[in-house]
Structure 1
Amino acid sequence: MSRTRTPIGRQVESDTVNVGEFRFESGEVITDMQVAYEAYGEFTGENAVLVCHGLTGSQHVAGRGTDSGVSGQASAWWSDIVGPGKAIDTNEYYVVCVNVPGSCYGTSGPASEGPDGEPWGTDFPPVTVGDWTRAQRLLLDHIGIGRLHAVVGGSVGGMNALDWAVQYPDDLDRLVVVASAARLDPQCLGLDAIARRAITTDPNWNGGDYYGEDRPDPEQGLGLARQIGHLMYLSKDSMDRKFGRRSAGRGGRGDAYPADPAAMFFPYREVESYLDYQAEKFADRFDANSYLYLTRAMDDYDLAEGYESDAAALSAFEGEALLLSFTGDWHFTTEQSESVAEAFRSVDVPVAHHVVESDHGHDAFLVEPEKVGPPLDAFLIAGVEGRAVTDTAPDGGEPDSETDFAPVHSSLFSR
């Protein structure tokens, strides 16, 4: 196991562990499942917090300077929330983040080595959110962690966190689900399907067999898929504020419209420039097959699968739950979070639903730590009875007292 000192001020463990034979929900088995993780802080026996990463995130949730090989947008992706003195305080908690099966940051997936010594490609078994949860449980067993103080997850990581309450309800005291839902709606399912087709119709995808120095990656298809994703993560208000209809220059980059010379007459807009930039960065850091696998896992997830209802699925969980949602998020809406909160209430699980007024869209859980941190911190300390002091009252004025998980959209906040 490798341990490195980093600027976050605490010991960081960064390692990849062979957890042995792993049976996927599909029934397929691989004999040597590799699981990559990072852990921050010191384990005292009762202070472990598991953080579940988002779709293209990594185990590198906080800090700098580890040798994990993770870079770019996947590096320290929640460092405003996880760290010394922050909401998930690494001076108090032993924080573990595990790269999920099917990804490309150290855990076994399509890009990792298969039994024949070559990358698995699309021969890798289909992956589900349930597989993620069971791989995390095996990793925690390997490093000596039984019961968790909390499981925290954002976006599809929130689905992963919910699955912990279903598969291992006795293994955690508190559950935090941020900007997530019990299942995707048809609009998001459709957009994900288009994103996958952008990859699989790229000639360089080659049926998923594009690994090797002499084979070009399906960068165009993966870039288009990421652009669709970015549009899902932003709200109309945030896009109008950030880009408007402003031009980035007539014609834009020389390769922006290689087969459409008439386009050179029209503006190359800032929003196009932004999307092209994000596509290029993403194609440099992520694997196209992993994107196919992980989006399918997210699309497949349904909290109630195998049960009569969401409430029935959650009925064995005896801890406490916090849900955070954002008013400008149309990918995972406040109404979807409220539906999950109601499922918890119906089986008498103490639950708080904190709705943040925000126009940042789905990205709000990453870019507005000042709104995510206080309720998360308070909940980890004291559960749903926790209280957080805020800089402003819910109406934007000066606060006159402590308020429960403020600021909130009061019509939806309940416990």
Structure 2
Amino acid sequence: MTTKNTIDLGEFQFLSGESIPSLEVAYETYGEFDGDNAVLICHALTGSSHVARRPDAGDETAGQARAWWGDVVGPGKAIDTSEYYVVCANAPGSCYGTTGPSSENPETGEPYGTDFPPVTVGDWTRAQRALLDELGVGRLRAVIGGSVGGMNVLDWLRRFPDDVDRAGAVATAGRLDPQCLALDTVARRAITADPNWNGGQYYDGPDPEEGLARARQIGHIMYLSKASMARKFGRRSAGRETVREEPPDPAAAFFPYREVESYLDYQAEKFTDRFDANSYLYMTRAMDDFDLSAGYESDADALAAFEGELLALSFTGDWHFTVEQSEALAEACREGGVDVAHHVVESDHGHDAFLVEPEKVGPPLSELLEEGISGRTITDTDTDSSPNETDSFAPVHTSLFSE
């Protein structure tokens, strides 16, 4: 049983203090609610509410606008929609049905553009809580998300700690490091430097496609690892049949058009067809702004009120959100008295691993929902070791949940 819907939450005040007269939230649900089986899934930067496949949904859109976790969420899958009531909502500021910069301002009849209020991860959480209230969902069996969706998960634990039983924070951290902040800055400058951006008021004219394309290419480089790029592209030429439509400069025609360039150009073209440039500015700023400890003495203090269980899941090849950052999150949980397990997956796919390796992501999430984290921690990296009998935790390579 699946639904795709949009709900009007009425006037919404953002944490910036600014308000809009109407916040519409696009959401999808899967399965049937029985009172205590609700699982909220938080999407990543350019994702949508379409987390799992629906009988009525085709592949008319590209990238994460499709069922972006369709191999993890669904009947009989790791997050089993025949057992759990799964809810996924598009975040405020995005462009997949929830009110954002490209939406019409009812007071002017024109798109908001950059008149849209600043958006934070906390605003996403508050909008999700309001949506769940409308759906009759109180306490969640679990809240799960990857990347900035994992930050959304962490915000749930500090903002509504009594509303969550279990949490899965996948490929995420308590904050971005300076290198990623710098790359996001360059990506946003690529958009705002495009003459077609026009101060964000471009909806009646040409879109800033070039700027958005460059921003997305920077993002894709962040999502891949050196090993995955070497394996996938190497230094190979894309071949004679693959030629740039317009070489960027006259000398470029002399040199090979490499596979890695062709890949980035292809991804940029797909992305500009489906995403809004202003939304990219708003969503990346929300991610950059997030700091788990903001308003608290420490990350441990921010999480201390959460009495449920947290699974932190990280990937060895991910330099966007590193294993070390995930372990720091787990350590903060231990300091705050939160039950936590940190599961480290051997992978050279980079940050994209949480999307492209469902066979590695699904099992620990399934175990989290079914049994929690009790008895699932061991003291070293040997998966044949017996479970740790103490309260200490350690990251584990390969599968923490293998038989």
TM-score range, shorter chain: over 0.9
Deviates further, 172-181 or 70-79: 70-79
Provide the rounded CA distance (Å) in 1 between the counterparts of 2:375 and 2:6: 36
1:320 to 1:299, Cα distance in 2 relative to 1, 3 A = same
Provide the rounded CA distance (Å) in 2 between the counterparts of 1:99 and 1:138: 13
Amino acid aligned to 1:291: Y
Amino acid aligned to 1:193: T
Does 1:318 find its partner at 2:303? no
Q: What is the aligned residue count?
A: 391
Amino acid aligned to 2:48: S
Provide the rounded CA distance (Å) in 2 between the counterparts of 1:331 and 1:124: 28
Does 1:92 find its partner at 2:83? yes
Determine helix, strand or coil for the equivalent of 1:263.
helix
Amino acid aligned to 1:188: C
Provide the rounded CA distance (Å) in 1 between the counterparts of 2:320 and 2:148: 11
Determine helix, strand or coil for the equivalent of 1:247.
coil
Compute the displacement of 1:71 (Å): 2.2
Fraction of identical pairs, as percent? 71
Contact 1:314 1:344 in 2 (8 A): yes
Provide the rounded CA distance (Å) in 2 between the counterparts of 1:15 and 1:69: 18
Compute the displacement of 1:385 (Å): 2.0
Among 350, 361, 364, the alignment partner of 1:361 is 350
User: Residue by residue, what CA displacement relative to the aligned partner does 1:270-291 show, whole Å, maximum 9, x if unpaired?
Assistant: 0000000000000000000000
Contact 1:378 1:387 in 2 (8 A): no
1:50 to 1:123, Cα distance in 2 relative to 1, 3 A = same
Among 145, 152, 155, the alignment partner of 1:160 is 152
Does 1:112 find its partner at 2:100? no
Provide the rounded CA distance (Å) in 1 between the counterparts of 2:122 and 2:59: 26
Compute the displacement of 1:257 (Å): 1.9
Does 1:219 find its partner at 2:205? no
Does 1:17 find its partner at 2:10? no
Among 180, 194, 197, the alignment partner of 1:188 is 180
Amino acid aligned to 1:179: A
TM-score, normalised to structure 2, is 0.93
TM-score, normalised to structure 1, is 0.90
Contact 1:62 1:82 in 2 (8 A): yes
Amino acid aligned to 1:408: V
Among 200, 220, 224, the alignment partner of 1:230 is 220
Provide the rounded CA distance (Å) in 1 between the counterparts of 2:310 and 2:368: 9
Among 358, 364, 368, the alignment partner of 1:375 is 364
Deviates further, 185-194 or 64-73: 64-73
User: Residue by residue, what CA displacement relative to the aligned partner does 1:194-215 show, whole Å, maximum 9, x if unpaired?
Assistant: 0000000011111111113xx1
Provide the rounded CA distance (Å) in 1 between the counterparts of 2:159 and 2:394: 31
5+ residue gaps, structure 2, are: none
Amino acid aligned to 2:272: A
Amino acid aligned to 1:103: S
Amino acid aligned to 1:189: L
Compute the displacement of 1:402 (Å): 9.3
Compute the displacement of 1:408 (Å): 3.0
Determine helix, strand or coil for the equivalent of 2:212.
helix
Does 1:291 find its partner at 2:280? yes
Q: Which residue number corresponds to residue 190 of structure 2?
A: 198
Contact 2:59 2:66 in 1 (8 A): no
Compute the displacement of 1:64 (Å): 3.5
Determine helix, strand or coil for the equivalent of 1:231.
helix
